[in-house]
Amino acid sequence: MRLPIKTLMLTAATTSLGLTDAATAGGHGFKSKPNPYVAGDMHNHNTCADGSVSAGYAIDRSVGTGTDVAGGANFGLDWFTLGNHGGSGNRDCRFADTSANLPGETTKYWSDTLGQTIDGITVTELKGTPNGTGTGARMWRWQSIQEVEWPIIVDRMKKHNKVIIEGLEWVMPGHEHVDVAVVTGQHPKRGRFGAGNADKMAEFEYRFDRADTDAIGPLDADGNQIWTDKDNVNNSGTAGHGKAVAGIEWLQKNFPLQSYVVPTHTERQGPFNPTSSRGYNIEHYRDFNNAGPTVAFGIEAPGHMAQAKTTGSTYGSGSVGGGTYGLSGIYTSKVGGMWDGLLGEGRNFFIYVSSDWHSRGVFGARDAGTTADFIPGEYTKLYVPNGRSFSAQSVVDGMRSGNSYSVNGDIIGPDLVFRAKAINTPRHCPRGWFWHGDHKNDAWKTMGETIVARPGQTITVEMQMTIPAKNFSPYSFNNPLLMQVGIQQPLDKPSLDHVDLITGDITGVIDPSDPSYAVPNAAGTAGAAIVYNPSAKIAQQIQAKDMKVQRNRDGSTRLTFRTTFKMGNTPFYIRPRGTNIPVGTPNVTDSAGEPLIDTLGTQVDCTDPACPAHLQTVNGVRKTSNDVYGWANLWFYANPIFVRPWNSPKLLVEKNAELAAKLAAKGHHGHGHWGHWNGHHTPSWSWNHWNPWFHKVGFDRR
Amino acid sequence: MHTGFVMALLLVAGLAGATVTPSMGGDRETSNGGPVRPKEHGRTLLKYANEPTEEHCLAAVAALRPLVEKLPKGDLSRIFAESYLNQAVVEGGNGEFAECLDEVQHAADEVRNRRHVLRPGESLKIRRADE
């Protein structure tokens, strides 16, 4: 499926590009120039699993613009992956749950609706192994993927003209949950390939989801099983991990460029347990990346960003880290943590963010407040590169490339520039290479790419980002966390205090036979003390006040800085993160600027008369909790740029990008996909030509 | 008996004033093989030795609901606790039984600790379906 060039659906993320043109007739969004990145969400739920709203409503609120017909803001995402749990569900996701408080909507079970045609979809039977009775009769997820959610996606794709993907929150054998999509066959915009299907997504769910214990699956016209030889035994502990790796190998073999495997809320269930299904240790991520070099390339943030309470967040005390830190898990929030450990091997291992939208807790779907989750696009945004024919394949390609970044609360917009290059390139290197003017080596590199430089060379790093004038916060009172340090900043006006440039040495891929391949993990705050890459550090901390500032007419602010690093003899990576929270803010950041555990931040009093009634209280004092805490404690994380000496071996991130390029050249992109992907850059044109600010940077921080 | 189920019943028993006390003292095995964790936030949390089941989920919800319904209608903690119980049932219906018990735990914490209080003259505005 191909779409016309994507247009940015600007809502909160108003930017300096002048993209807030009037909406076009027909309500399909805004007429605007394209942005370099487009925002999406790959992890969210509806009533086919444990969500609170119908599948169609969830899509409408997430990618629609303006106000929903029943009320409530739409959040204008550019792409959306429906990522329900595997297993089975007893509710009909053509209807919202009663608790969503939507007009005319009450909970409907499959037992209520079998045989009825609703929204053009008729479900006549619950297929596969019988699974419950009465209102507890459940539909296996493979069936709801094929027969319910996919037709709804086809309908919504036409309605919104956005990229919508059928994905899965894989209940992984031996482990926690994992975002997966197999986009093969998914081309819902009718064309020469027809409406397409999500059959491969369904097959993966049937074969490998530990909550899907159906032993039958779909049948052919003769009543024979279509998907045979399912392992329905090894679903837990070490054996389950083996089945999980087999699932990744299946994807790598069959859909090496059309699928992704991204573990989510990775710290929540604690460390790996060899006799149960809990979390992960670093060796499991290594196994995944080894088994699926072009499909298992990262992990995701916790989601549930409005669940920070005085007693805990979406992570309890038994999680690794004992809670969330700046609403991220300890694997990614800690400098030197597990993510840095994996980057320290030079792996293509990136981070992403999604909403994990289920419900608004005590509120209904149309209320502005939430005590549980944000709707996709409201708070978390995963940015991937835009493209001339943006498609489901573009989403997968963008994620795989590492050229993506994750944003909470619109602290920055869709036009991040994070790039680096080696300068003072010699005309002749020792082997006689003629480097000067060699565009391959002189070009700017961005997230997920690798700079090759000579020891002693200067690496120039440049960042440009736009701070939107407003985000979707319904609260305009001053940020209680910042009030502690005398800053008056309304919650609905995002701000940036500083950017950390975090570096770590790359010492090479650890072989599975190496004793250091497996590292003991720990539940609780003990897990936060584990250092996986001792060389990782905040190498530079750039205050927003020291950046070049451009005020834009729409109220947004463009911030720019350049800085430099020196190439040594050891490969390394540079990754940025930014926040609105100053270093050393009581209960929120430590003296280095590291985020503290969120159960400290949620102890901060919320004293403004406008602090809403749904916040938790301690001894009668209202605390900065739930959604207010989310809007108060904002971070963004971007994926790294890798740097290595010219005479050093290629990093795994380079080798795996080359593998993807070879696979693409062999035609592994399926029908209807963007066919000119070059293996690493998602856009087929040069980043320098694409970047509208390329020639406008005048600020040099050196 | 499943430790998750034990956990839920202990929570409920504690709320009801019963004297049942689990074994404590860090990570060690319970009688059915599940490690026990120390008290957290005034409640007892146990890891699951095995995967919890639908029966555990439904029993925990059924055990806690009468205590929730003892709170006055319109009481903020009751509204929150009912919301948690609703999500617990939803999780159970989706086969997410561990998540179901987590939601029951949140509801029990709300009933026990009354974590939401309205200021004089204040109300919690939730948009009804007919609004």
Per the CB < 8 A criterion, the answer to whether A167 and A82 are in contact is: yes
Residue of A nearest to B78 (CA): A362
User: What tokens were used for A174?
Assistant: 């031996």
- Convert the pLDDT of each residue in A206-233 to its tens digit: 999 999 999 999 999 999 999 999 999 9
User: What pLDDT score does A23 carry?
Assistant: 25
Q: Does B79 touch chain A (CB under 8 A)?
A: yes
Residues of B in contact with A616 (CB under 8 A): 115-116
- Convert the pLDDT of each residue in B17-53 to its tens digit: 433 333 223 333 333 333 333 333 333 333 444 678 9
Residue A515 predicted with pLDDT over 70 = yes
- C-alpha A431/C-alpha A420 separation (Å) is 24
Q: Does B129 touch chain A (CB under 8 A)?
A: yes
Residue A680 predicted with pLDDT over 70 = no
Burial per residue of A462-485, b for 16 or more beta-carbon CB atoms within 10 angstroms, e otherwise: bbbbbbbbbbbbbbebbbbbbbbe
Q: Looking at A166-175, A481-490, A499-508, B38-47, which range is the least confident one?
A: B38-47
Residue of B nearest to A51 (CA): B90
Higher-pLDDT residue of A575, A675: A575
Q: Which single residue is written with the structure tokens 């389950």?
A: A240
User: What pLDDT score does A424 carry?
Assistant: 65
- Convert the pLDDT of each residue in A57-106 to its tens digit: 999 999 999 999 999 999 999 999 999 999 999 999 999 999 999 999 99
Q: Do B80 and A371 touch (CB under 8 A)?
A: yes
- C-alpha A29/C-alpha A36 separation (Å) is 17
Nearest CA-CA distance, residue A289 and chain B, Å: 27
- C-alpha A324/C-alpha A299 separation (Å) is 15
For residue A559, the SS3 value is strand
Residue of B nearest to A89 (CA): B94
Residues of A in contact with B79 (CB under 8 A): 362
> Out of B40, B86, B116, whose CB is closest to A99?
B86
> Out of B50, B109, B116, whose CB is closest to A617?
B116
- C-alpha A381/C-alpha B123 separation (Å) is 32
Q: Does B120 touch chain A (CB under 8 A)?
A: no
Q: Do A318 and B129 touch (CB under 8 A)?
A: no
Q: Looking at A10-24, A508-522, A680-694, which range is the least confident one?
A: A10-24
Q: Mean pLDDT over residues A407-424, rounded?
A: 95
- Convert the pLDDT of each residue in A312-346 to its tens digit: 888 999 999 999 999 999 999 999 999 999 999 99
Residue A434 predicted with pLDDT over 80 = no
Residues of B in contact with A104 (CB under 8 A): 129
- Convert the pLDDT of each residue in A448-478 to its tens digit: 999 999 999 999 999 999 999 999 999 999 9
User: What tokens were used for A581?
Assistant: 């929270």
DSSP class of residue A118 equals: E
Q: Do A366 and B117 touch (CB under 8 A)?
A: no
Q: Specify the DSSP element, H or E, that contains A393.
A: helix A392-401
User: What tokens were used for B97?
Assistant: 């039984």
Per the CB < 8 A criterion, the answer to whether A260 and A399 are in contact is: yes
